[in-house]
C-alpha cells in the first residue's frame, strides 16, 4: 500500500529568473548568428541557439504552484515520486506529472434516505460529514475517485447505522436514533472512518442532520407518541395523588383531627383521587348533615 512521502521541490523564483535569462540569451544568440558575417558557421550557431531555446522552453513545464493547505502529487512515468506541500511557486523535473490534492477541511450532507430502523419502521435519515485528506498518496492511488468514494461510503454507513438502532427507545437506557444523539454520532463517525481509512481520509465529525418517520407511518407514530405522553402524564398524576392522599390520612391520624373508620377512609380516598386525578375541576357537594347521611 502506498503511503505519502513528503518531498522538497526547488524554490521556483530563482529558477524562473534563470529560465527568463536563458530565454533572452538564446533569442539574442539567434539574432546574432543570423547577422553573422561568417556564413559557413551561421547555420551551426543558429542550430545551437535553437537547441538552447528548446531546452529553455522545456523547463517551463517544471513550474507549478502549491496553495496553502494543498498537496501536489508528483509521478514519473506512472511511478509515485512524492508529494510537495510547501506553498508557493515550485520547480521540479519537467517530466513529472503533477496532480493537486486539497488538504482543506470539507463537509457535505448525504441525501435523505428511506431505510428501516431496528424495529422495522420506515424512516428518513440524512447526515453531515466533515472530512479532510490526510494522505495524498492513498487518496489518489488507492481509490478511483476519492471524493465520490467518501460520498458513497458515508451514505452506506448511514444506512447501516439506521438499521442498528430503533427510532425511539422502548426501554430505559436503550440507545435510539432520536434520544441518544451523542452515542449515535460517535458510532457513525467510527464506522465512516473505518470505511474511508483506505482512501487516506480522516473523518472529523459526523452527525445526523435529518431524522423523521416515513410519511406513510408518520401520522400513526405521532398518535403513538401522543398516547405514550398521555400515559406517562397520567402515571405521574396518579403517583402524586396517591402520595397526597397518604400524607393527608397520616396527618389526620397524627393530629387526631377526626377518627375515620374503614368505610369513611375509603370514601375519603375515593373523593380525593377524583379531585386530584380528574380532567376538570371537581364541583363539591356540601353535606349539611352528619358524615353518615
Residues 234-272 have pLDDT tens digits of 777 777 777 777 777 777 677 766 666 667 667 767 766
At 202 the pLDDT is 96
pLDDT at 92 over 80: yes
Out of 77, 101, 125, pick the residue that ends a domain: 101
Going by pLDDT thresholds of 50, 70 and 90, the confidence category of residue 76 is very high
For residues 89 and 27, state if they share a domain.
Answer: yes
Q: For residue 11, which phi and psi values (nearest 5 degrees)?
A: -65, 125
At 174 the pLDDT is 83
Query: Residue 193 is part of which domain span?
Result: 106-213
For residues 208 and 118, state if they share a domain.
Answer: yes
Mean pLDDT, all residues of the chain: 84
Q: For residue 224, which phi and psi values (nearest 5 degrees)?
A: -65, -40
pLDDT above 90 coverage of the chain, percent? 48
For residues 29 and 74, state if they share a domain.
Answer: yes
Residue 46 class from Cβ within 10 Å (0-12 exposed, 13-18 middle, 19+ buried)? Answer: middle
Averaged over 131-144, what is the pLDDT?
Answer: 94
For residues 203 and 234, state if they share a domain.
Answer: no
Total domains in the fold of the chain: 3
What does pTM read for this prediction? 0.70
pLDDT above 70 coverage of the chain, percent? 80
Going by pLDDT thresholds of 50, 70 and 90, the confidence category of residue 96 is very high
Q: How far is CA 188 from CA 152, 182, 259, in A?
A: 14, 10, 65
Whole-angstrom distance, CA of residue 113 vs CA of residue 209: 12
Whole-angstrom distance, CA of residue 289 vs CA of residue 293: 6
Amino acid at each position: 500500500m502506498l503511503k505519502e512521502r513528503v518531498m522538497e521541490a526547488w524554490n521556483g523564483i530563482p529558477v524562473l529568473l534563470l529560465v527568463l535569462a536563458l530565454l533572452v540569451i538564446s533569442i539574442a544568440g539567434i539574432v546574432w548568428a543570423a547577422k553573422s558575417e561568417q556564413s559557413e558557421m551561421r547555420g551551426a550557431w543558429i542550430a545551437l541557439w535553437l537547441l538552447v531555446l528548446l531546452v529553455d522552453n522545456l523547463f517551463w513545464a517544471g513550474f507549478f504552484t502549491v496553495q496553502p493547505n494543498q498537496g501536489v502529487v508528483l509521478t514519473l512515468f506512472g511511478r509515485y515520486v512524492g508529494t510537495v506541500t510547501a506553498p508557493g511557486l515550485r520547480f521540479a523535473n519537467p517530466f513529472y506529472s503533477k496532480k493537486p490534492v486539497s488538504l482543506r477541511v470539507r463537509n457535505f450532507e448525504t441525501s435523505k434516505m428511506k431505510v428501516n430502523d431496528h424495529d422495522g419502521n420506515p424512516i428518513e435519515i440524512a447526515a453531515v460529514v466533515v472530512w479532510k485528506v490526510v494522505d495524498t498518496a492513498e487518496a489518489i492511488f488507492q481509490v478511483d475517485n476519492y471524493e465520490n468514494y467518501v460520498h458513497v461510503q458515508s451514505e452506506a454507513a448511514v444506512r447501516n447505522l439506521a438499521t442498528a438502532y430503533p427510532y425511539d427507545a422502548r426501554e430505559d437506557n436503550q440507545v435510539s436514533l432520536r434520544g441518544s444523539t451523542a452515542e449515535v454520532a460517535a458510532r457513525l463517525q467510527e464506522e465512516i472512518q473505518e470505511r474511508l481509512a483506505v482512501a487516506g481520509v480522516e473523518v472529523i465529525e459526523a452527525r445526523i442532520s435529518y431524522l423523521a418517520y416515513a410519511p406513510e407511518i408518520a401520522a400513526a407514530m405521532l398518535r403513538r407518541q401522543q398516547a405514550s405522553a398521555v400515559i406517562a402524564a397520567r402515571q405521574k398524576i396518579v403517583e402524586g395523588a396517591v402520595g397526597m392522599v397518604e400524607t393527608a390520612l397520616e396527618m389526620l391520624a397524627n393530629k387526631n383531627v377526626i377518627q375515620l373508620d374503614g368505610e369513611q377512609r375509603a370514601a375519603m380516598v375515593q373523593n380525593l383521587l377524583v379531585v386530584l386525578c380528574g380532567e376538570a375541576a371537581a364541583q363539591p357537594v356540601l353535606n349539611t348533615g352528619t358524615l353518615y347521611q
